[in-house]
Amino acid sequence: MTAAPATTASAATTPGGASPIVVRSWKAPIAFAIFTVIAILLFFIVGRPDLDGGNPTTIYRLSEARDAIQLPPLTLGLAETTIVVVILMVAATIGAFLLARAAVRVPLWLTTIFAVLFLVGFLTWAAAGATVPMIGLLAGALTVSTPLIFGSLGGVISERVGVVNIAIEGQLLGGAFMAAMLGTLTGSPYVGLLGAMVAGALVSFVLAAFAIKYFVDQVIVGVVLNVLVLGLTSFLYSTVMVPNAETFNSPEKFERIAIPLLSEIPVLGPILFRQTVIVYLMYLAIFLVWFGLFKTRWGLRLRSVGEHPTAADTVGINVRATRFWNVLLAGAIVGGGGAFFTLAAVGSFGKDMTNGAGFIALAAVIFGRWDPIRATLAALLFGFATNLQSTLSIVGSPVPSEFMLMLPYVVTIVAVAGFVGVSRPPAASGKPYMKA
Amino acid sequence: MKLELRGITKRFGALVANDHIDLVVEPGEIHCLLGENGAGKSTLMNVLYGLYQADEGQILLDDVVQGFTGPGDAMNAGIGMVHQHFMLIPVFTVAENVMLGNESTKPGGLLDLEAARAKVVEISARFGFDIDPDALIEDLPVGVQQRVEIIKALSRNANVLVFDEPTAVLTPQETDELMAIMRQLRDEGTSIVFITHKLREVREVADRITVIRLGKVVGEASPTATNAELASLMVGRAVDLTVDKDPAAPGDDALVVRDLTVTDHNGQLLVDGVSFTLRRGEILAIAGVQGNGQTELTEAIMGLQHRVHGSIALDGEELIGRSTRGVLDAGVGFVPEDRTEDGLVGEMTIAENLMLDRSTGEPFVKRGTLQLADLARFAAEKVREFDVRAQGITTRVGRLSGGNQQKVVLARELSRELRLFIAAQPTRGLDVGSIEFVHKRIVETRDAGVPVIVVSTELDEVVALADRIAVMYRGRIVGIVPGDTPRSVLGLMMAGETPAEVAA
């Protein structure tokens, strides 16, 4: 009896039996090659004919006037930068082809380096003859990303517990509306934030009730909820808020709080640590969701319900209650993110002001493979793409602004479709749990 | 702990799944619950485990009446269950699965994984298991997964342990090991309820046997009873356990498979260089534990797999590269292993299901229009011929019992002119009466001169039907042996070994 487990255990290494046939994936090298060709076309064929004479330079400003430690700006010449970048990109592409031919997966670090190279080349080319405020670019990216990150954290929790949350958009919008309304009425942004969380949880409540109790298709409920919240907030906005903006739609915004010492770290300090309470809460939320999901009893039970609800039931976990409360929690987190629009970014509510952020957050959940940290990074990527577009249009780039407006969405599609490939969602996500 | 069920009744609508069932399991005994598929064994155990609420009756542990409202209550009372379909989360580790629902935590809800690992190691050591507490469940073979289920139950101090059809997924050798574990548990004082429909296992391990039929207890039997006695008690009439068949009269080679290889999208080999020849008028049974490439082999012949290399020649015509339509047109009949998933459309009527593979032309479609009158005539005839018990040909297939569903599939596949017939798990989940019927039709098909492949994980079925037996293990054919090869030899082959008498 002791010998048998050993032989069966060895079978574990190759489930289904037999040695694997070599698989070569050409996706990464081909993508590299396409981007290298684009780079060569842009930098050398198109070039910057609008700038006449000499070798234009791009200035990267690394400090702001109020920073205690001033870093000198970085100046890159267009010709030498693009040549170096393209040479390195060609090298990386050749490397990727060699790796693929040897049936080795192209490692993530190579992809990252390649992306950074392309970005440096592109920025230098697009902003040649001008100054790029790096702090502004990155801090702006964080601002755009903040609601996306809240949205994707809520999405991760909801999907991990087994309920597809298409309603992130509605939860964000509901949160934004309620924050503006309550924030104005009470004069306290903190009450507004709390109200936003309640609003998000309320949207979640409808989703949870229909999906968990009545087994209605979760995707359909989510889509309908988005439309419902959009309609409701738009109606209340035009009938209540617009005529009485002073009473209902002029909330006090959260103050930016600079954290002593940390905010003086060059480059990173002004970006990360001169922010509002909501952003600091976001840092905390990212950590807590990650820690909670993977290190605590709450997370273990939550994940078990999303993977195999019957198994969870047989060990005495109440599947429906677990789903219900965690979907509510997810809604509250997303709703809190919605408050960022009205209490930190804009300062008042506007019709459909989330403008699809919830769907980008949903893409970040998938791109981040249902992991809170990876989803956060994905949300940051989308936020960066969005802010890059607006920064470049201010700096004055040769790319038509209509084209640049597509950038965040192109990045979303390429990221979700191309680089993720086949990813595995929680096994029971979207499936109602019915029992006799 | 002594377990007693008194007058348990459970109804699903008009169906009475359990009808006043009484059962007493004494401490330290292995009590077998024997019954056909659908007799109500699993329902009874789900009532015991708190997954279902009984409509009437009581559950007593050590003579104290229990009121379970969920599995949590049952577990706290000391009842553990090893489910037929393992209740393990594939992406969790062994330790995480064992602790789930019963987690020991440090302050702040932080999981104490160390404690869980220690528990796994401790219980493993008691039974001589070799299990890595940090292995992911999905990487473990089913036999090991089952041991994790046992550990999970024991880690909650179960005094009553229910095994629900535990041997369905095991090789004969693993089954023997499981029996040994059950005996060891019994000797330590655990009460064991062993649910099964396999007579041999019952006689080997049971201390007492209770037989259930159609939701009622029909009697107790002693472990010394013969197979025939147990079977007639289980089915309610005398049962002929052997399949009547004359020796095969094989003709020419019909199907020649050479170096067949099937890979999945990751490049894993599912079928690995399989070669065999099948003659007209013979039954080749493909034996093996579930998941050793049998499914993929049949799907490759049917044109349902994409990454296929080698050669499959039927009467000299190559089948690889043909669409499934093309394979069907070549005269291949196929009973898929999952009839509700792949064999039938549950929402469609019997008549519609009977024409599913002939929807492209005559006789049932002319000028793009269904010939409903022809179809009705055909369906009525087949329903009679195959003894499908249904209200009429317009009954939705999803409402039929498993046996009647399988008869519809057989009727459809056998009503064409066949040059090859493939039946995958043809009797899985069927009652004894239907099994007899299906076996009879398969032998008749053989006798009509059609080459037949039967894929089965049930050794009894393999031995009963086969003229020759090919045993598959990890995508390979371990060997092709005559139909009268002893079970012990087949068992070894199913574990991948090649016994001396086969090699010779």
What are the E-state strand segments in A72-149?
74-77, 131-133
Q: Spell out the domain ranges in chain B.
A: 3-235, 253-503
pLDDT surpasses 80 at A177? yes
Q: Which fold has domain B3-235?
A: Rossmann fold (3.40.50)
Question: Rounded CA gap, B502 and B478, in Å?
Answer: 10
pLDDT for A435 equals 66
With the CA atoms of B7, B13, B14 and B19 taken in that order, what torsion angle do they form, in degrees rounded to the nearest 10? -10
Please report the pLDDT score of residue B251 as a whole number: 87
Q: Is the CB of A308 less than 8 angstroms away from the CB of B99?
A: no
Q: Cα-Cα-Cα-Cα dihedral of A109, A112, A113, A119, to 10°?
A: 180
pLDDT of residue B181: 92
Query: Helices A168-186 & A357-367, crossing angle to 10 degrees?
Result: 130
In this predicted structure, what is the pLDDT of residue A22? 58
Closest among B229, B193, B165 to B429, alpha carbons compared: B165
The string of DSSP codes covering A231-260 is HHHHHHIIIIITTTHHHHS-PPPPPPEEPT
Residue B367, Cβ density class (10 Å: 0-12 exposed, 13-18 middle, ≥19 buried): exposed
Is a pLDDT exceeding 50 seen at residue A10? no
Which of B51, B79, B89 best probes binding to A when mutated, by most A CB atoms within 10 angstroms?
B89
Cβ atoms B145, B174 nearer than 8 A: no
Domain B253-503 belongs in CATH node 3.40.50.300: yes
Nearest residue to B299 via CA among B215, B424, B419, B450: B424
Q: What is the dihedral of CA A67, A69, A70, A73, to 10 degrees?
A: -100
The three-class DSSP label of residue B17 is: strand
- To the nearest whole angstrom, how far is the Cα of A207 from the nearest Cα of chain B? 26
pLDDT of res. B435: 87
pLDDT at A249 over 50: yes
**Residue whose C-alpha is closest to residue A284's, from A111, A149, A103:** A149
Question: Could you tell me the pLDDT band of residue B185, with boundaries at 50, 70 and 90?
Answer: very high
Q: What is the rounded distance in angstroms from the CA atom of residue A253 to the CA atom of residue B203?
A: 78
Task: Provide, as residue numbers in chain B, all residues whose Cβ is less than 8 Å from the Cβ of A295.
Answer: 110-111
For residue B444, what are the CA distances in angstroms to B243, B244, B245, B280? 11, 10, 9, 13
Using DSSP's 3-state secondary structure scheme, residue B164 falls into strand
**pLDDT for residue A416:** 67
Torsion of CA A274, A278, A280, A281, to 10 degrees: 180
The per-residue pLDDT for range A266-283, each reduced to its tens digit, is: 888 888 998 999 999 999
- pLDDT, average across residues A226-238: 96
Task: Output the DSSP codes for B331-369.
Answer: TEEEE-S-IIIII--TTSBHHHHHTGGG-SSTTTEETTE
Q: How far is A309 from chain B (nearest CA, A)?
A: 9
Report the range of poorest mean pLDDT among A409-423, B274-288, B364-378, B437-451. A409-423
pLDDT for A129: 83
Residues 6+ apart with CB under 8 A from B256: B277, B278, B311, B312, B313
B253-503: same fold as B3-235?
yes
Tens of pLDDT, residues B39-54: 888 889 889 998 888 9
Section A85-112 average pLDDT:
88
Q: State the average pLDDT for chain B.
A: 89
> Does B7 contact A at CB distance below 8 Å?
no
- List residues bridging with B482 in a β-sheet: B468
pLDDT reported for residue B243: 79
Q: For residue B227, which of B34, B393, B45, B85 has the smallest C-alpha distance?
A: B34
What is the C-alpha to C-alpha distance for residues A31 and A27, in angstroms, rounded to an integer? 6
CA distance B289 to B455: 11
Name the token pair of B482: 């005559």
Q: What is the dihedral of CA A42, A43, A49, A55, to 10 degrees?
A: 160
CB contact under 8 A, A18 and B266: no
Q: Taking residues B131-137, what's their average pLDDT?
A: 93
Cβ contacts (< 8 Å) between A105 and chain B: which residues? Answer: none
Question: How far does the CA of residue A328 sit from the closest CA of chain B (Å)?
Answer: 20
